[in-house]
Amino acid sequence: MLSVLEKIKIEIKEDIKQTQRLFDDNPMNDYYQSEIFALKRSLARVEREESKELNCLDAWAVELSRNEKIRKEIENGCNKKSTGV
């Protein structure tokens, strides 16, 4: 998912650069300025979604780490009981 979002971000940035060149060549055409604005909004949206995905991934990693720690504590507790320590 993150690689797809990164690819989309790169493509949008390329579109912004291309449209900016067209606008620089023809500054009287408001269409290009509007398109640049829309592309920048789209880029911001993709970046927000990427941030959400990274936050979810981080929460999953924390939960996984917590579960692994609990599992090890349980195993260590069982081992102590079976060895009589």
pLDDT in tens, 26-81: 999 999 999 999 999 999 999 999 999 999 999 999 999 989 888 888 888 877 66
The length of the chain, given as a count of residues: 85
pLDDT tier at 8, thresholds 50, 70, 90:
very high
Judge contact between 12 and 46, C-beta under 8 A: yes
Q: What are the Cα distances from residue 44, in Å, to 9, 47, 56, 73? A: 9, 5, 19, 43
Handedness of CA 74, 77, 79, 82 (dihedral sign): negative
The pLDDT value given to residue 5: 92
Question: CA-CA distance, 44 to 23, in Å (whole number)?
Answer: 21
What is the value of pTM for the model shown? 0.71
- The residue written with tokens 């009589």 in the block is 84
The pLDDT value given to residue 46: 96
